[in-house]
Amino acid sequence: MEQGLEGVVLKAVGGDIVGMGATGEGLYREVPPEHFGLVERYLRCQLEQTLESYRFCHTSTAPVSEWLMSVCRRENELGNALVDAGVFESKYDKRTSWVLTEVA
């Protein structure tokens, strides 16, 4: 278990969870210290996919690159692992944009 990670949560800021009208506690997912590494990998992958998707959409007319597709697959796999670990509640969590924050 990692030290100093108590009170760390994911907050939904876009995507399915927000779009379906979640409010209050429904916007948050606890991050157990033992799953922080998995959450970290997921968030890095989510950011990588977002950045590359925007770059691709605004600069390319070519088909989607295999590299971008591999990032999408990796994000899906990590999202499934978060569902299996109990951090995410459903597939809708995987289709949500998250930020890491603390609760007091």
Instruction: Tell which residue, 39, 46, 61, has the closest CA to residue 28.
Output: 39
Asked if 12 and 100 touch (Cβ cutoff 8 Å), the reply is no
- The pLDDT of residue 98 is 95
Q: What is the pLDDT along the chain (104 residues), one digit of tens a residue?
A: 344 567 899 999 999 999 888 888 889 999 999 999 999 999 999 999 988 888 777 776 667 778 888 999 999 999 999 999 999 999 999 999 999 998 86
- pLDDT value of residue 60: 66
Amino acid at 82: L
Predicted pLDDT of residue 57: 73
The verdict on pTM exceeding 0.75 is yes
